[in-house]
A = this chain, B = another copy of it.
Amino acid sequence: MYPASLQELIEQFRRLPGVGEKTAERYALMIAEQPSEDAQRFADALIQVKQKLHHCPVCGNLTDEDTCSICRTESRDKGQIFVVQSAKDVSAMERTGEYNGVYHVLNGLISSSKGILPEDLNLEDLIQRARGAREVIIATSTTMDGETTAMYLDRLLKKECPEVLVTRIAHGLPSGGMLDYADEITLSHALQDRRKM
């Protein structure tokens, strides 16, 4: 239906997560209508990301430098390690401005459905770091795979570094959440983890 060059761009946009035919068309037609320099800048950004971006060898976060900006910051508390699934989670947590420890990015979760085993997550590095820390906060999502990974990490850390405190982020009603809209698992967690006021 469309000229080959436009069709190819539509297909590239379709590969993005959650993008269907109509949306990909809309994106590609916007590119077709904007100045060449803008498309060039977009193309450069795509290539730069692949050339520069890599995982921080210390914590697994994404970085353009030798180590990531958090690991480079002297004032961050190396005694507290916040374990997350991906770099996106680091960014979400940093936005709260409430945490001054460091991170450990697993870049995946143990998953029977996706065939991801504990061996695939480079957990030796985490154990190594945990040995020098006071606390490891497990902050994987409260999904099936997230909970599986959290349980596995808890057991592993208690075995390999028994002196470190292992904690899990709280489960409960989200801010603004209404009781009658919450599912049973959320509600039973909210009851179990209740605190004295």
Contacts and interface: CB of A to CB of B under 8 A. Distances in A.
Contacts of A51: 5
A186 interface: no
A17 B39 CA distance: 14
A28 interface: yes
Copies of this protein, total: 2
Interface residues of A, number: 52
A3 B69 contact: yes
A63 B16 contact: no
Interface stretch (A86-94, A109-117, A123-131): A86-94
Contacts of A15: 38, 42
Interface stretch (A6-14, A136-144, A154-162, A189-197): A6-14
A84 interface: no
Closest 4 A/B residue pairs (Cβ): A43-B43, A3-B64, A5-B52, A36-B50
